[in-house]
């Protein structure tokens, strides 16, 4: 893989946390996305180790899913850093409107944080001695953004493009358009001269054309049967929660399905409410099959040890 520019360092994280991208120059030490709340102290340690005595000056969030902004509060309490969020999320964060923010709806958590400014498509940022274009990336999340450095041909893609796919298309679970937007974002990426992608999850990669082919194929597959997106969303959210809490009873998981709006919407696309216990059992069994991420111990669902 071609080397990253010297001013960029990527902290590739595992499940729960998004990758963190540290960009440092003489004027500013900035981090793009801060991981999940459970791993906030790990994020802080990674940044402190990288910066030494130097403070963090700036947080930039590509979008406000809990795995991308869960470290904001701790980093803000450690350093008096500025924080930039997508402009379309400013009102929800200012009021901490949990009906509009996604944390409760996905059964996840995020400590309250503030912001000092906003970014939106068409804007530019100077980070790590490089100029970055701010690009819209709706699909996975209607407010999501990407950063593109044309000089280095580097794209910070968040969850719009991974080496093998992209994030769950959440708007489609709530009756909004998302597949068409994801298709358009992939087409926009294809029109750029991208050499290296830094995704929200997984290692940076240079086989951009192949990744785009896989992503276009997946969009078409999901659009052909939207229930596939709903089922994938349930699996992702169940695994996420179990990796966070480590163990949970079937009864607690079923209650979570009723309480978390996004999970409830996904389940409703798949089965009538009376069939949700069987649906949960089937999905958990699939996730426990082979060397899957979960195991079942009586009435307890347990995250498999890494």
* pLDDT score of 289: 95
What's the CA gap between 45 and 132, in Å, rounded?
26
* pLDDT score of 99: 84
CA atoms within 13 A on the CB side of 120: 6
* Domain contains 1: no
* Domain contains 206: yes
When divided into structural domains, the chain yields a total of 2
Question: Domain boundary residue among 224, 242, 269?
Answer: 224
- The CATH number assigned to the domain holding 124 equals 3.60.15.10
Q: Are residues 182 and 81 in the same domain?
A: yes
23 class by beta-carbon count within 10 Å (0-12 exposed, 13-18 middle, 19+ buried)? buried
* Domain contains 277: yes
Q: Are residues 128 and 156 in the same domain?
A: yes
Q: Are residues 210 and 233 in the same domain?
A: no
Q: Are residues 102 and 48 in the same domain?
A: yes
Q: Are residues 179 and 284 in the same domain?
A: no
The tens digit of pLDDT for each residue in 242-269 reads 999 999 999 999 999 999 999 999 999 9
Q: At what angle do helices 227-245 and 208-224 cross, to 10 degrees?
A: 110
* pLDDT score of 306: 64
Q: Identify whether the C-beta of residue 284 lies closer than 8 Å to the C-beta of residue 294.
A: yes
Residue range(s) defining the domain that contains residue 117: 8-224
Q: What's the alpha-carbon Rg for the chain, to the nearest Å?
A: 19
Q: Are residues 253 and 272 in the same domain?
A: yes
Beta-strand pair 145-149/20-24: unpaired
* Domain contains 141: yes
Q: Are residues 165 and 232 in the same domain?
A: no
pTM score above 0.95? yes
* pLDDT score of 1: 46
What is the biggest distance separating any 2 CA atoms in the chain, rounded to whole angstroms?
60
Question: Strand (E) positions, 122-281?
Answer: 124-127, 130-136, 145-149, 154-158, 196-199, 247-249
* Domain contains 177: yes
Question: Domain boundary residue among 193, 224, 255?
Answer: 224
Q: Are residues 137 and 172 in the same domain?
A: yes
Q: Write out the chain's pLDDT in tens, 306 residues.
A: 458 999 999 999 998 999 999 999 999 999 999 999 999 999 999 999 999 999 999 999 999 999 999 999 999 999 999 999 999 999 999 999 988 999 999 999 999 999 999 999 999 999 999 999 999 999 999 999 999 999 999 999 999 999 999 999 999 999 999 999 999 999 999 999 999 999 999 999 999 999 999 999 999 999 999 999 999 999 999 999 999 999 999 999 999 999 999 999 999 999 999 999 999 999 999 999 999 999 999 999 999 976
* pLDDT score of 2: 59
* pLDDT score of 98: 85
* Domain contains 188: yes
Secondary structure tally for the chain: helices H, strands E: 10, 14
Q: Are residues 116 and 164 in the same domain?
A: yes
Q: Are residues 156 and 199 in the same domain?
A: yes
Q: Are residues 287 and 162 in the same domain?
A: no
* Domain contains 3: no
Question: Domain boundary residue among 201, 224, 247?
Answer: 224
Q: Are residues 200 and 270 in the same domain?
A: no
* pLDDT score of 219: 98
Q: Identify whether the C-beta of residue 306 lies closer than 8 Å to the C-beta of residue 293.
A: no
* Domain contains 19: yes
Phi-psi region of 282 (alpha: psi -120 to 50; beta: other; left: phi over 0): alpha
> What are the residues whose beta carbons fall under 8 Å from the beta carbon of 231, sequence distance 6 or more?
266, 270, 283
């Amino acid at each position: 893989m071609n080397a990253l520019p010297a001013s960029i360092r990527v902290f590739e994280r595992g499940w729960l946390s998004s990758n963190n991208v540290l960009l440092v120059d003489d004027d500013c030490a900035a981090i793009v996305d801060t991981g999940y709340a459970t791993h906030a102290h790990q994020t802080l340690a990674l940044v402190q180790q990288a910066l030494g005595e130097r403070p963090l000056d700036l947080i930039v969030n590509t979008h406000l899913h809990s795995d991308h902004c869960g470290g904001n509060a701790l980093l803000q309490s450690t350093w008096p850093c500025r924080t930039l969020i997508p402009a379309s999320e400013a009102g929800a964060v200012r009021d901490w409107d949990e009906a509009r923010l996604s944390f409760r709806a996905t059964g996840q958590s995020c400590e309250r944080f503030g912001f000092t400014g906003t970014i939106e498509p068409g804007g530019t940022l100077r980070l790590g001695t490089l100029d970055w274009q701010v690009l819209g990336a709706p699909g996975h999340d209607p407010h999501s953004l990407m950063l593109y450095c044309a000089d280095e041909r580097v794209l910070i893609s968040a969850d719009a493009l991974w080496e093998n796919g992209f994030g769950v298309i959440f708007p489609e679970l709530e009756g909004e358009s998302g597949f068409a937007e994801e298709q358009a974002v992939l087409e926009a990426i294809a029109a750029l001269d991208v050499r290296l992608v830094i995704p929200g999850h997984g290692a940076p990669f240079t086989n951009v054309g192949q990744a785009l082919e896989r992503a276009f194929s997946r969009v078409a597959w999901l659009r052909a049967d939207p229930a596939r997106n709903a089922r994938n969303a349930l699996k992702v959210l169940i695994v996420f929660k179990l990796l966070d809490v480590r163990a949970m009873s079937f009864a607690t998981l079923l209650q979570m399905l009723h309480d978390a709006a996004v999970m409830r919407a996904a389940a409703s696309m798949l089965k009538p409410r009376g069939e949700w216990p069987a649906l949960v059992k089937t999905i958990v069994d699939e996730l426990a099959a082979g060397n899957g991420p979960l195991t079942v111990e009586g009435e307890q669902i347990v995250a498999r040890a890494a």
